[in-house]
A and B are shown apart, each in its own frame.
Chain A
Amino acid sequence: MFVRVLRDFCRQTAAVSGRENVNRLIHIAVPLEKNRDRRSFLASVPRKDEGTEGEKFVFIDSAITKKEDMFPDINTPNMHFGGVKFSDVPVCHIKSSRNNTILHVTKPNGERIMIRSCGMEGFKNTRKGTNIAAQATAIGLATRALDFGIHTVRVTINGLGPGRMSSIKGLTMGGLKIISVTDDTPISWNPLRSRKQRKL
């Protein structure tokens, strides 16, 4: 407190006495300056990974290739993948939030088979909300699923977070075969009033 008062006093005297320092501000409120510094600092920090790779940029390879067979149609639920109907393949639900990633494997009717999350995998606190944690969790889940006898899954992703892309990568690295990717993020154009904004 005393230091702050002294500093303010010095600044004031410098501004008033020195004619060449006319442009210098007289700081009465140090916290204001501090806040501004923090804002500029936050603006310079790179944005957190949201798993939305490919949102803004087009990869030339994928732009050239034809995509007709990549989108489902009315016959897709009856198509066979490895001898199983598309609609009977187990589903891997991924919920990726800012602070954690949760993966479920369920039967096609929604009955849960297994669940893993970054916290269960041994990551704690802020480390849960990283793409490495998500990938490790996904690999762990994939090995368990293979033990259980599940080799092919459909994937639904929910939410934006660091685990959005990396968990899918982890599932493939763990040996599961993914046949489709669905976005399941709840989006409303006339939503209820959401929580207040975070103070930065």
Chain B
Amino acid sequence: MKHLKFISRTVLVRNENVDEACRILNRIMGSEGFLDQYRRTMFYEKPTQMRRRINYEKCKAIYDEDMKRKINFVLRKNRPEPFPGCY
């Protein structure tokens, strides 16, 4: 389906605050991966580079997942002992 212009990827300006609208637009474009895709396809990505990038992204995702779990474990609330190891 064709995306309608001025409906998709559009932010209306509120209270003449153009900067805010631009920032929101940039943020959405960045978080959805549009800007990354644009930067990546500006120049041809060789197959080796693509493999390297994808492997790196996989490793990073695994590491991030583990680290997130670790941080949540350390920062967890309602522990049976509030200060474990401190007597």
Verify A188–B44 contact, CB threshold 8 A. Answer: no
Asked whether B55 is an interface residue with its Cβ less than 8 Å from the other chain, the reply is: no
Asked whether B23 is an interface residue with its Cβ less than 8 Å from the other chain, the reply is: yes
- From B12, B19, B44, name the one whose CB has the most chain A CB atoms within 10 angstroms: B12
Given A52-B26, A172-B18: A72 touches B7 (CB 8 Å cut-off): yes
Give CA–CA (A52, B31) in the complex, Å.
12
Given A182-B5, A193-B44: A62 touches B24 (CB 8 Å cut-off): yes
Verify A181–B18 contact, CB threshold 8 A. Answer: yes
Give CA–CA (A58, B74) in the complex, Å.
26
Verify A194–B43 contact, CB threshold 8 A. Answer: yes
Asked whether A187 is an interface residue with its Cβ less than 8 Å from the other chain, the reply is: yes
Interface size class of B (residues with CB under 8 A): 20 to 34
Give CA–CA (A180, B10) in the complex, Å.
7
**Distance in Å from the Cβ of B45 to the closest Cβ of chain A?**
8
Q: Which of A25-33, A63-71, A116-124, A142-150 is near enough to bind chain B?
A: A63-71
**Distance in Å from the Cβ of B48 to the closest Cβ of chain A?**
12
Asked whether A14 is an interface residue with its Cβ less than 8 Å from the other chain, the reply is: no
Q: Which residues of A contact B (CB under 8 A)?
A: 51-56, 58-59, 61-62, 67, 69-72, 74, 76-77, 86-87, 154, 156, 160, 165, 168-169, 172, 177-185, 187-189, 191, 193-198
